[in-house]
Chains A and B, each alone.
Chain A
Amino acid sequence: GDSVTQMEGPVTLSEEAFLTINCTYTATGYPSLFWYVQYPGEGLQLLLKATKADDKGSNKGFEATYRKETTSFHLEKGSVQVSDSAVYFCALSDKLSGGGADGLTFGKGTHLIIQP
């Protein structure tokens, strides 16, 4: 079945550092890929998405490129801030999984801590 693998962390960086969170996936069909962020005590918020190969999703300084050849969707940001501290989830939705379900398959989440 479909799966998503991401580094779990915690990942600790200093403010203004460069961020990369790796995400690789296994999917049966042609998935759409997502990054969600969860702040303490809150639900998940969509950070960015890409629906086909070579698409780049971007939002709030974060970006990720859908790489079909390496089955990856790594999240990057050039200069992180303390306010970026949260848990980041990579996810996919694949038409051929789950009997046609549109439900998301999530990675285990990466806890990011940014120190001032």
Chain B
Amino acid sequence: DSGVTQTPKHLITATGQRVTLRCSPRSGDLSVYWYQQSLDQGLQFLIQYYNGEERAKGNILERFSAQQFPDLHSELNLSSLELGDSALYFCASSAERGVGETQYFGPGTRLLVL
């Protein structure tokens, strides 16, 4: 158990809908990262927050957004969903920011868009 929790575990929705994925980092970790894992694209970095502020964006679509709250939990919002958004979405956290920091991954949220 990494100490990172994600809810829900599974999500089934329809095209055009909007969903919110939630992540609670390990106790004390300030950095939160979101990743998407799909069969065709593999594992891709989406976005990073550090202590409530956006730090960097990766391959995140404009239809997707995220935020980190004062209690350090984070939410990833996916809107105008398309079939191709079906994937496993991981949250990870690290104590600090920096290239050498170990990122601890949650169990993921599996999203299926029908």
Q: Are both chains from one complex? A: yes
Task: Tell which of B56, B90, B100 touches A44, judged by Cβ atoms closer than 8 Å.
Answer: B90
Interface residues on A, range: 20 to 34
- The size class of the interface chain B forms with chain A is 20 to 34
A100 to B56, CA, bound (A): 7
Residues of A within 8 A of B71 (CB): none
The SS class assigned to the A binding surface is loop
Query: How far apart are the CA atoms of A102 and B56 in the complex, in Å?
Result: 8
B53 interfacial by beta-carbon distance below 8 Å: no
Flag whether A7 is at the interface (Cβ < 8 A).
Answer: no
Task: Note all chain A residues with C-beta closer than 8 A to B56.
Answer: 98-103
Which residues of chain A are within 8 angstroms of B48 by Cβ–Cβ distance? 101-103
In the bound assembly, the distance between CA atoms of A107 and B45 in angstroms comes to 12
As a 0/1 sequence over residues 94 to 116 of chain A, the CB contacts with chain B under 8 angstroms (1 = contact) are: 11001111111111110000000
Known: A31-B99, A45-B2, A93-B99. A104 touches B104 (CB 8 A): no
Task: Please list the residues of chain B having a beta carbon within 8 angstroms of any beta carbon in chain A.
Answer: 2, 4, 31, 33, 35, 42-48, 55-58, 90, 92, 94, 97-108
